[in-house]
């Protein structure tokens, strides 16, 4: 057993999004912890393919009833006309590919609008602000692609700034991801997420996909 963080910057993050010019950069000047770089997301332009204005972490295997805990510190430039701001989230994948994702603090699906909005760090937050997502992975989710129930088999954490072309930069620092494999795989026997469960997960070292 280990408490290994699975979202260390930069080791566990993909700093390129498609071919051509990039909007994802390591920043050694704007940092929260001395000696540890942050990830800077700049605005999306016609020159790059990162229309999501997103940086993806490493893919990890996961299964129903796993306890997933994500944390990240964020800050973002001032922009009086900017929409929403900076956030983290996670996408779920199964045998048929992408299923769905979460960005609200409690990982509830369907996501209540209030939970999603509350987990943004708004434009103009010039000091570091932390957001957390803490939930139990359900036995199955309704696919956003074809509407069928799909069992999650892998997950990927992401960092994002909205909207894509809003002027200004967002920074992400001291990210954390822990996946606690369940010892009771039968805990979830229906295709919906249990209410948020509070607790300190015991972490298990996982192998990257």
Closest CA to 132 of 106, 109, 110, 108: 106
Would you say 170 and 77 are in contact if contact means Cβ atoms under 8 Å apart? yes
Q: Do the domain assignments include residue 136? A: yes
Q: Say how many domains are in the chain.
A: 1
What pLDDT shows up at residue 1?
33
What pLDDT shows up at residue 182?
75
Q: Which range of residues forms the domain containing residue 73? A: 57-161+174-180
Q: Do the domain assignments include residue 166? A: no
**Over the stretch 81-130, which tens digit does the pLDDT of each residue have?**
888 999 999 999 999 999 999 999 999 999 999 999 999 999 999 999 99
**Over the stretch 4-13, which tens digit does the pLDDT of each residue have?**
999 999 999 9
Spans in the chain with pLDDT lower than 70: 1-2, 183-209
Q: Do the domain assignments include residue 202? A: no
Closest CA to 55 of 32, 22, 6: 22
Q: Do the domain assignments include residue 12? A: no
Render the chain in DSSP notation, one character per residue. Answer: -----S--TTTTB----SSSS--EEEESSS-SSTT-PEEEEPPP-TT-S-TT-EEEEEEEE--TT-EEEEEEEEEE---TT--SEEEEEEEEEETTEEEEEE-STT--SSPPHHHHHHTSEETT--S-EEEEEEEE--S-EE-TTTS-EE---EEEEEEEEESTT-SS-EEEEEEEEEEE--S-TTS--SSSPPPP----PPP------
Would you say 134 and 106 are in contact if contact means Cβ atoms under 8 Å apart? yes
Token readout for 151 is 């069992």
Q: Do the domain assignments include residue 65? A: yes
Q: Do the domain assignments include residue 74? A: yes
């Amino acid at each position: 057993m280990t408490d290994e963080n699975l979202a260390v910057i930069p080791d566990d993050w993909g700093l390129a999004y498609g071919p051509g010019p990039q909007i994802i950069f390591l920043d050694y000047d704007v940092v929260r912890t001395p000696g540890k770089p942050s990830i800077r997301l700049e605005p999306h332009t016609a020159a790059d393919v990162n229309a999501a204005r997103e940086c993806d972490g490493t893919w990890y295997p996961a299964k129903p009833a796993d306890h997933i805990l994500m944390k990240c510190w964020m800050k973002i430039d001032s922009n009086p006309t900017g929409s929403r701001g900076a956030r983290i989230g996670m996408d779920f994948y199964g045998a048929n590919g992408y299923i769905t994702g979460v960005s609200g603090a409690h990982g509830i699906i369907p996501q209540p609008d209030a939970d999603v909005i509350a987990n943004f760090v708004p434009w103009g937050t010039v000091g570091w602000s932390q957001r957390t997502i803490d939930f139990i992975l359900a036995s199955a989710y309704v696919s956003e692609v074809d509407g069928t129930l799909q069992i999650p088999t892998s997950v990927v954490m992401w960092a994002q700034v909205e909207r894509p072309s809003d002027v200004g930069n967002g920074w992400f620092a001291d990210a954390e991801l822990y996946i606690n494999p369940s010892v009771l795989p039968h805990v979830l026997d229906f295709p919906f997420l249990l209410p948020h469960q509070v607790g300190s997960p015991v972490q298990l070292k996982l192998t990257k996909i």
